[in-house]
Amino acid sequence: MRHTLSVLVENNPGALSRIAGLFSGRGFNIESLCVAATLDPTLSHLTLVTSGADLIIEQIIKQLNRLVDVYKVVDVSEGEYVEREMALIKVKAEAETRAEVLRIVDIFRCKVVDVSPKTYTLEVTGPETKLKAVLELLRPIGIKEIARTGTIAMAREKKTV
């Protein structure tokens, strides 16, 4: 099962490395990891996507909590939540494909953020599934480069981490 964890961690040097080290050292897998500051500058918010059986996820959450720098861990995928990822995609756009690329941009509500005689660079945000779909459609046209952010997530409605 895929789980998305929201982790609040002290904004200390080495904190991220402790978390990453915990995963590698214990043989857990990180599928995606995203870190940024929160409203409180002493805390960082980290969104971590991992997968495993329930017992493994329980261990991951407990082990994270055991780290002295970790303030809070919430498995947002346990309830309703929204998640987003952003990608920049540089795609081949020559005379015969330019229109097709724009159609896809339109359908998926992407943005063209850079244009050159032979390429478009698109910005696309959405859940991982949407990014996957866009990439699938663009691939036959010719993707030259992509950069992705990894997932960020938030529980819906009133719940906060």
Chain positions contacting another protein, by CB under 8 A:
9-10, 13-14, 17-18, 21-22, 25, 55, 58-59, 62-63, 65-66, 68-71
Please state the closest distance from residue 3 (CB atom) to another protein, in A. Answer: 16
- The CB-of-12 to another protein minimum distance in angstroms stands at 9
Contact 121, 113 (CB under 8 A): yes
Q: How far is the CB of 51 from another protein (least distance, A)?
A: 18
For residue 89, the tally of other CB atoms under 10 A from its CB is: 24
Is residue 96 helix, strand or coil? coil
Nearer to another protein, 58 or 78 (CB): 58
Q: CB of residue 147 vs another protein: minimum separation in angstroms?
A: 28
Which residue number, 9 or 33, has a Cβ lying nearer to another protein?
A: 9
| Both structure tokens of 40 | 């409180």
- Please say whether the dihedral angle defined by the alpha carbons of residues 16, 18, 19 and 23, taken in this order, is positive or negative: positive
Q: Would you state the structure tokens that stand for residue 68, as one six-digit string?
A: 């002295």
74 close to 33: Cβ distance less than 8 angstroms = no
- Block residue for tokens 């329930």: 54
Q: Which is nearer to another protein, 53 or 95 (CB)?
A: 53
Nearest approach in angstroms of CB 21 to another protein is: 5
Identify the three-state secondary structure at position 149.
coil
The smaller minimum CB distance to another protein, of residues 15 and 122, is found at: 15
Which CB sits closer to another protein, 29 or 65?
A: 65
